[in-house]
């Protein structure tokens, strides 16, 4: 059997919902808005594929730099050297830092 090297490989636990959370996510998560400079957590919603970041960024915290269309530009520090990276993520996969 050939190996799978797709975008969602090794994500059986990370990109699956709990039993009671299955189905469509609430609309309030999709219509939330963020301002530049605001800190946000990246929490991937597996039921929405558009605007989904790579699973390596799941659980990271970043800062909103701006908006591009319906997505937000989020800057995070990643890797051993803490390099700055810009991600384009939709609001369904973001939650405000409290």
Question: Is 54 part of any domain?
Answer: yes
Give the total number of structural domains in the chain.
Answer: 1
Report which secondary-structure segment, H or E, holds 33: none
**Residue 61, domain member (yes or no):** yes
Domain span including residue 45? 37-96
Whether residue 13 is contained in a domain is answered as no
CATH number for the domain that contains residue 73: 2.30.30.70
Q: Of 70, 83, 16, which is closest to residue 94 (Cα–Cα)? A: 70
- Residue 27 contacts residue 47 (beta carbons within 8 Å): no
Q: What does the DSSP 8-state code read for residue 55?
A: G
pLDDT tens for each residue of 20-54: 999 989 999 999 999 999 999 999 999 999 999 99
pTM confidence score: 0.90
pLDDT in tens, 63-92: 999 999 999 999 999 999 999 999 999 999
Classify residue 68: in a domain, yes or no. yes
In a domain, 17, yes or no: no
């Amino acid at each position: 059997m050939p190996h799978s090297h797709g975008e969602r490989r090794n994500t059986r636990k990370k990109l699956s919902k709990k039993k009671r959370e299955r189905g469509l996510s609430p609309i309030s998560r999709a219509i939330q808005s963020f301002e530049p400079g605001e800190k946000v957590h990246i929490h991937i919603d597996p039921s929405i594929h558009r605007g989904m970041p790579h699973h390596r960024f799941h659980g990271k915290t970043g800062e909103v730099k701006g908006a591009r269309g319906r997505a937000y530009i989020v800057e995070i520090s990643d890797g051993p050297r803490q390099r700055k990276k810009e991600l384009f993520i939709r609001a369904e996969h973001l939650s405000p830092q409290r």
